[in-house]
Amino acid sequence: MTPPQLQQRYKLPRKNILRSQKAITGLFQPGFFVGSFPLRINYLLHPKTAETPSVQVMFSVSKKRFKKATDRNRIKRLLREVYRLNQHELQVLVLNEEQQLAMALIYTGQELLPFQVLKSSFLQCVQKLKKKLNHA
């Protein structure tokens, strides 16, 4: 019997995806980001509201670097899987605060990379993010 909390961890329903234009423009103001090739994470902490979950995320791939829609779809799906399978690392970090976290995963690479590479890169980013948040 696995506890229900653990079962939920690998899910990524739609409401955890960041979709408000206001929040997104806020994310892309010059400010807080961590990077580890080929990924970059813009993040923003703001007071918790009742409706939204504590962590919201969005995925972004440049149309200039990847002309074909299939390539962009592929990368975004890979990113989503990487985040989905490793999001518990973050959730532990943020849950104790009275704030919620909004973040954007941006793919900065020039070509398609396999799943395992993206996974290790994401985990590095998370480590960096932990350090930064603890300092603040």
Partner RNA sequence: GCAGCAGUCUGCCUUACCGCGCCGGGAAAACCCGGUGAGGAAAGUCCGGGCAACACAGGGCGCCGUACUUCCUAACAGGAAGGCGCAACUUGGGUAACCGGGUUGCGACAGAGAGUGUCACAGAAACUAUACCGUCUCGGCUUAGCCGAGAUAAGGGUGAAAAAGCGGGGUAAGAGCCCACUCAUCUCGUUGUGAAACGGGAUUGGGAUAAACCUUGCGGGUUGAAAGACCAAAUAAACCCUGCAUCAGGAGCUGCCCGCUCCGGUUUACUGCUUCGGCAGUAAUGGCAGGGAGGGUAGGUCGAUUGAGGCCUGUUGUGAAGCAGGUCCCAGAUAAAUGGUAAGGGUCCUUUUUCGGCAACGAAUUCGGAUACAGAAUCCGGCUUACAGGACUGCUUUUAAA
Partner RNA sequence: GGUCGGAUGGCCGAGAGGCUAGGCACGGGUCUGCAAAACCCUCUACACCGGUUCGAAUCCGGUUCCGACCU
Full strand arrangement of the beta sheet holding 33-36:
33-36, 39-47, 99-107, 55-61
- Angle between helix 88-95 and 115-135 (nearest 10): 10
43 near RNA (CB under 7 A): no
Other beta carbons within 10 Å of 41: 20
Closer residue to RNA in complex, CB, 76/128: 76
Residues 23-42 that bind RNA (CB under 7 A): 24-25
Q: Which listed range, 41-49, 75-83, 87-95, 120-128, lies at the site for RNA (CB under 7 A)?
A: 75-83
Assess contact for 55 and 92: CB atoms under 8 A.
no
How far apart are CB 28 and RNA at their closest, in Å?
8
114 near RNA (CB under 7 A): yes
Cα distances from 82 to residues 10, 39, 47, 116, 136, in angstroms, run 10, 12, 27, 9, 26
21 near RNA (CB under 7 A): yes
Interacting residue with RNA among 3, 49, 51, 67 (CB under 7 A): 67
Interacting residue with RNA among 1, 3, 7, 47 (CB under 7 A): 7
